[in-house]
Amino acid sequence: MIIDVHYHLLAEEWYPQEWWNTVVKMYAHGLKNYGLEMSPEEIRSSLVPPLWDPEGEALLRDMDAAGVDKTVIVPIDYWLAFGEPGASLDQQLKAYSDFQRKHPDRIIAFATVDARRPDAVKIVERAIKEWGLKGLNLYPQAGFYANDPRTYRVLEKVSEFNVPVRIHTGQQGPPPLRGKYGDPIHLDDVVQDFPNLSIIAGHMAFAWHEQLLYLAGLKYNMSTEFSAWQVVAKANYWKFCQVMRQALDHLGKDRVLFGTDNPFVAPLMSTKEFVDLIKGLPQNAPDGISFTEEEVNAMLGDSAAEILVL
């Protein structure tokens, strides 16, 4: 069983133009790091439109190519920071729900909300209770802390349903997003104040992974996913292996989950390449670092199946 716990189903109108301009900027800088120069206009016309896949056809093809059995699609609500898009948040969440209903065996759709929205509780309740979304995705870096009272009222609502909550951790995020909100230390309160809630720390907290791994070690309702670590895997395979080993040593194989953050990261490494890279860890890990097949199977999907209550 292979499960990608972090994928974005995207449509142009679900997000504001300011966001797409930001994506162009991120790609331009990313490409430059790899010695490739493309103008913003070229990126805008050639790299951004392929991200739009509101019917999920490209996603299903990508899953088939990579041998991914199930994908968790996570919506985004950065819009109090970037400006509201043409489509409402409810429209995005409803589209997620519709896509999940069409492919119940393959797609697991999460809800999202900015905890600062006055009707945040209502939005999440409707998405989970009426539309059947199977988890919540929070992006504190839009401007709120995971342990803020406004977040807690949302988490209290989600606690009524037996679904996990993924919370972005890590400094990463373009302006106007603020890295400080992604410090995993704020999850320390959350996992203890909501002991029955399953909390997934997103992106293994990027450069704060040491803090996260030490923090999460003894907080057994906390897991992490390592989406977007393709960047490290590609730039420094030794370091990637070393951090993955550290994650498994702290959290055990049951709480370290595979995710891609595609389609955003796909230009750097396809889903299939990343799946193959993880599958190859037992054979290819550098001297002094080892992985078992059992650990690989757990990370690729067996553990996510437990945490997602499948």
| Contact footprint for Zn ion (CB under 5 A) | 261
Buried b (16+ CB within 10 A) or exposed e, 59-73: bbebbeebebebbbb
Q: In angstroms, give the least distance from the CB of 74 to Zn ion.
A: 6
Q: In angstroms, give the least distance from the CB of 193 to Zn ion.
A: 25
CA angle 153, 159, 165 (to 5 degrees): 90
Sign of torsion over alpha carbons 91, 93, 95, 101: negative
Q: In angstroms, give the least distance from the CB of 167 to Zn ion.
A: 12
**Rg of the chain in Å (alpha carbons):** 18
- Can you tell me the distance from the alpha carbon of 295 to that of 287, in angstroms, rounded to the nearest whole number? 18
Closer by beta carbon to Zn ion, 229 or else 291: 229
Sign of torsion over alpha carbons 243, 248, 250, 254: positive
Using CB positions, name the residue nearest to Zn ion: 261
Closer by beta carbon to Zn ion, 77 or else 261: 261
Whether 274 and 260 have beta carbons less than 8 Å apart is answered as yes
Closer by beta carbon to Zn ion, 62 or else 261: 261
Closer by beta carbon to Zn ion, 14 or else 291: 14
Q: In angstroms, give the least distance from the CB of 8 to Zn ion.
A: 6
Whether 51 and 263 have beta carbons less than 8 Å apart is answered as yes
Q: In angstroms, give the least distance from the CB of 6 to Zn ion.
A: 6
Closer by beta carbon to Zn ion, 261 or else 295: 261
